[in-house]
Each structure stands twice: as C-alpha cells, then as structure tokens.
Structure 1
C-alpha cells in the first residue's frame, strides 16, 4: 500500500468460507458477543444489487467506522443508506465515505493507536512492516493509495 503499511487480506478462498459464516453468526445471539464485527448492508450504486459485507467495527469519539480499501467503499461516495448489524441488532444508518487523506489518516491513526500495533493490524486488515503503529504521515500516504473510512451514523 504505502511505506510502512501493507494490506493484509485473507486469501479469497478463506473469505468465501469466513464471510458467510460471520454474516450468519452475527445474526444469532452470538452477534452480541462478536462486538468487533458488523455487517454493512447496502444497495450498489451501479448494479442496484443488495450487498451485505462483514467488516471490523471501529469506534472513535462515539461514532462507528469501517476502515477499508475495498472497492465497495465508492458506494458511499455521496453518502448512502445502510443497514448495520452490530452488537446483535440492526440499525438503519447513513454511511459517508471519507477519502480526504488527512481526515482518513487522523481517523485511522487514532484508532490504530487506541488498539496498539498488534490488535490494529488484526482489526484493520493491515500489516505494519516494523510492527509499530505507523505515523500519521504514513497513514496519509496509505490514504492517497486507497485507504479510506466510512462513517456510519444513525439515519434521521
């Protein structure tokens, strides 16, 4: 991705097994225990298809975020409704893509620092080359190469 930061996604074959299992588990009473994950359901802006994507749930300043580089982030470029299954319940929310490199870096650096390097790498799907939380400038570089955040707020 950039400098000290690389994407660290599981192999696609593993995701084909893990994602459906996680989507199912989060809809059961187990979902209240798996608080570090959420399922974001939304309608594709080009396809009109409904998608349900399990991702890590990140909390910062009382707000909920998805941190990602995946292409589906663009569905939230102009803001979009989403149903978010988190902590055992589904909430109608509004997702807004944040892709300004400075803003993304601030969010991601603060979240990573709150987790510590080891947990941040696991929760964010990133690999830090020296196993330390990268600097804000390093996260700015990663954001310029596609790292982004989606802020999820209750729909009004």
Structure 2
C-alpha cells in the first residue's frame, strides 16, 4: 500500500485525499530519508499519528519532519508521546469525535455504536502506546 500512497499523496491528486498524510524525515541512526504514509488525526486540535511502527522512534526526542497533507507541505516538528492505555483511549475518542475513522484505525464496532474512551482503553496494545504530535495547523496556509 505504501508503494501506491507515497507518490499519490505527493501528486496533485493528494489534495483530494483526506485522513492520510505523508511524513518525510531523516532516520536518526541510518541518516537515510524516510517517507511513510500515516493516518491523520486531530486530537485537541493537534495533528497526530497513532503508530507502533518502528519508525516512530525517530521522534523520541522530537525531530524535523515534512508533512504533506491534502496537497500541502508543512515543514514542522514531530514529537513522540508515550501514553497509558487510558490516555490512548481518550486520545482515540477525541480523534473519532473530530472525524477520525475507526475503520482506518482497525477498530471494529457494531453499526451505530460509538465506543467510549474506557472501551477504547480496554483494547490496550491493539491501539498502540504512542502517538506522534506535529506542530502545524492544517487549516492555515502551508509554510
């Protein structure tokens, strides 16, 4: 899927894709350029990626990153934030409340059911234990 999404998100068609962003950053140990698509979430108005993928460690102490979202590039900073299951449940609930997709996050619910933060926290490791927060406002012009 990444093979298709990387060029698509970078193309003019990327402006029509909602909910997915392309992250471009330098590996902290390898020094190589990494380009990875990630689901876009808003948590307390902050652009966020939920992930347990190994590349998340590049943001442990914060790192510069170029985020391409809806056809716009933002040169910004990303920071890894580790969370307890309760904090993760609350963050996921906030994302869902602002238009995040439970399906894209791999959360299965009964039709019409809105899981509570406590129900989401009970999913534990299935939700992950970390988020990356980015320092940009997607409603403002890019820089």
TM interval, shorter chain, is 0.7 to 0.9
Residue aligning to 2:77: 94
Cα separation, 1, equivalents of 2:89 and 2:64 = 24
Matched, 1:137 2:137: no
RMSD: 2.4
SS of 1:104's partner is: helix
Q: How does 1:41-80 map to 2 (within 5 A)?
A: 41-80=24-63
CA shift for structure 1 position 77: 1.2
SS of 2:79's partner is: strand
* Deviation readout 1:13-53 (Å, 9 max, x if unpaired): xxxxx212211111111111012211011111222221100
- Contact preservation (8 Å) 2:42, 2:98: no
Cα separation, 2, equivalents of 1:107 and 1:93 = 21
- Contact preservation (8 Å) 1:78, 1:96: yes
Cα separation, 2, equivalents of 1:145 and 1:33 = 27
Cα separation, 2, equivalents of 1:110 and 1:145 = 14
Residue aligning to 1:121: 103
SS of 2:95's partner is: helix
* Larger proportion of helix: 1
Gaps of 5+ in 1: 1-17
Q: TM-score, normalised by structure 2?
A: 0.78
Q: TM-score, normalised by structure 1?
A: 0.72
Number of equivalences: 133
